[in-house]
Amino acid sequence: MKVIKNIPLAGPVLNGNEKKYVMDCIDTGWISSNGKYVTEFENKFADFCNVEHALSCANGTVALHLPLLAYGIKEGDEIIVPTLTYIATANAVKYCGATPVLVDCESNTWNMDPNRIEEKITDKTKGIIVVHLYGHPVDMDSIMEIAKKYSLFVIEDAAEAHGAEYKGNKVGSIGDVGTFSFFGNKIISTGEGGMITTNNSELAAKMKLLRGQGMDPQRRYWFNVVGYNYRMTNVQAAIGLGQLENIDWHLDKRKTVANEYIKEFFPFTDLFTMQPEMSWATHSYWMVSILLTDKVKISRDEMMSLLATDGIETRPLFYPMHQLPPYYEDSTYPNADRISIRGFNIPTNAELSSSDLRYISDRLVYHCKNNV
Query: Do 241 and 40 contact (CB within 8 A), yes or no?
Result: yes
Distance CA 245, CA 279 (A): 28
Chain CA centroid to CA 124, Å: 27
Q: What mean pLDDT do residues 146-171 have?
A: 98
pLDDT of 5: 81
Roughly what angle, to the nearest 10 degrees, separates helices 201-211 and 60-70? Answer: 120
pLDDT of 3: 60
Residue type, 46: A
DSSP assignment of 152-197: -EEEEE-TT-TT-EETTEETTSSSSEEEEE-BTTSSS--BS-EEEE
Flag whether pLDDT at 1 surpasses 80: no
Q: Please choose, from the candidates 121, 74, 80, the residue with its C-alpha nearest in 3D space to the C-alpha of residue 98.
A: 74
pLDDT of 87: 98
Answer yes or no: CATH 3.40.50.1220 is held by domain 18-245. no
Domain borders along the chain are 18-245, 248-369
Query: Do 251 and 163 contact (CB within 8 A), yes or no?
Result: yes
Min mean pLDDT across 5-9, 279-283, 323-327 is at 5-9
Q: What is the pLDDT of residues 310-321, one digit of tens each?
A: 999 999 999 999
Q: What is the pLDDT of residues 3-54, one digit of tens each?
A: 678 999 999 999 999 999 999 999 999 999 999 999 999 999 999 999 999 9
To the nearest whole percent, how much of the chain has pLDDT over 70?
99
> How is the beta sheet containing 281-282 ordered, strand by strand?
169-170, 165-166, 281-282
Give whole-number Cα distances, 363 to 48, 264, 346, 360, 370, in Å.
Answer: 38, 11, 12, 5, 11
Looking at 3.90.105.10, 3.90.1150.10, 3.20.20.70, 3.40.630.30, the CATH number of the domain 248-369 comes to 3.90.1150.10
Compute the chain's Rg from CA coordinates. 21
Phi, psi of 109 (to 5 degrees): -80, -20
Query: H helices of the chain, where?
Result: 18-28, 36-49, 60-70, 88-95, 140-150, 201-211, 234-245, 247-265, 300-309, 334-342, 354-369
76 — pLDDT class (breaks 50, 70, 90): very high
Flag whether pLDDT at 2 surpasses 80: no
- Tell me the CB-side half-sphere exposure of residue 19, using CA atoms within 13 A: 4
Chain CA centroid to CA 254, Å: 15
